[in-house]
Amino acid sequence: MKNLLVTSGTAGTNLSTLARGAWAIVTAAGVVQSSVPTTGMYKYVVGLGGGKYIEGLWLNADNKVATKQTYAEGATKSVTIASIAFDPTITTDAEIHIQTEPKSAFAGLDYQEFVAVVPVTSTIQDTKDIEAALIVKLTQLVKDINKYFGKNVITPIAEGDGAPTTLKGLVLTAVDTDFNFYVTFGGNATGKTTESNTLTFGTQAEVIELEKEMAIATFGYNPNFEAGDHAYGKVLLASEFGATGYDIHVISSVAPATDQMPLHPDGAKVEQWIAVPKGNSTFKA
């Protein structure tokens, strides 16, 4: 079970006067406290103003782990072939694989795979010949990937006088910041790659989508969701605090086991997600 709270980062101490977006910690005894409990049950709440507030999940302080995903600015991803080697004595294909995100979610795939292949035969056994042939195949593979997506998603490899003469050090770069891909090797080819930082984490738009996900799971689908209110007031708090990015705290907690059945040796697991404006140092998890 997962729950998301979005806070302005301001701490509060009184539920009846909790400002909109302020957060507080409440123990099982109903006491608001400023520190994270080290034992017993507790939960986070976020104020909505006017004496109302959103309640998070109950967490077990005796069995919980808190992690943090810091907001990150995305950059176009690049993958560098740091090393590559061939064994000409083994007559199997030399392969470079490129895995990309699927073109459509309807494909039902985690990723799509494209492969550049050079057969290692009695006529192509010299490692330089294998590499030269694989450069040609990889150049064409990038063209094929771009054609498949209907636009350039990976920067084309130079051809002609500017074409690479070796695979080591070759850099493949995404065109857009939101495109992710990986490079691996197979068959006769072995090697390593290095990757740059790639995706943006914690944008306001991403947190708003998480808010919608939580609200739909809790209250059901509403086609007028962005304009509508529910029992707790307006849902899309992420659009109110002037934050262009959020740090996401995730608190995973397991309840004490309540039965002797061997199916679940631990109690039910929950995850409390809390989005806090990036750089905020007041929030405690």
Per residue in 228-250, pLDDT (tens digit) is: 444 444 556 787 877 888 999 99
pLDDT at 261: 58
Report the C-alpha gap between 7 and 238 in whole angstroms: 8
Classify burial at 239, counting beta carbons within 10 Å of its beta carbon; exposed 0-12, middle 13-18, buried 19 or more: middle
* pTM tops 0.75: no
- What is the average pLDDT score of the chain? 85
Between the CA atoms of 188, 191, 196 and 201, what dihedral angle is there, to the nearest 10 degrees?
60
Q: Provide the token pair at 55.
A: 């309640």
Per residue in 266-281, pLDDT tens? 667 889 999 999 988 8
Average pLDDT over residues 1-8: 86
Average pLDDT over residues 142-146: 96
Average pLDDT over residues 145-155: 95
Report the C-alpha gap between 237 and 112 in whole angstroms: 36
**The residue to which tokens 């290692």 are assigned:** 120
Query: What percentage of the chain exceeds 90 in pLDDT?
Result: 48
Q: Is the pLDDT of residue 223 over 90?
A: no
Q: Is the pLDDT of residue 262 over 90?
A: no
Q: Provide the token pair at 81.
A: 């072939």
Residues facing residue 233 across a β-bridge? 230
Q: Is the pLDDT of residue 132 over 60?
A: yes
Per residue in 50-60, pLDDT tens? 888 889 999 99
pLDDT at 227: 46
pLDDT at 234: 52
**Gyration radius from the chain CA atoms:** 26
Contact 219, 3 (CB under 8 A): no
Contact 45, 24 (CB under 8 A): yes
Position with higher pLDDT, 263 vs 177: 177
DSSP string for residues in the chain: -EEEEE--S-B-S-GGGPPTT-EEEEETTS-EESS--SSSEEEEEEEEETTEEEE---EETTSEEEEEE--B-----EEEEEEEEE-TTS-S-EEEEEEE--S-GGG--S-EEEEEEE---SSS-SHHHHHHHHHHHHHHHHHHHHHHHTS-SBPPPP-GGG--S-STT-EEEBSSTT--EEEEEEETEEEEEEE-----BSBHHHHHHHHHHHHHHHH---TTTTT--BTTB-S-GGGTS--SBEEEEEEEEEPPP----TT-SS--EEEEEEEEETT--S---
pLDDT confidence band for 181 (50 / 70 / 90): very high
Q: Is the pLDDT of residue 101 over 90?
A: no
Domain residue limits, the chain: 2-71+201-277, 78-195
pLDDT at 232: 43
Of 64-78, 90-104, 152-166, 248-262, the least confident: 248-262
Please provide the size of the chain in residues: 285
Per residue in 188-217, pLDDT tens? 899 999 988 666 788 888 888 887 777 666
pLDDT at 229: 47
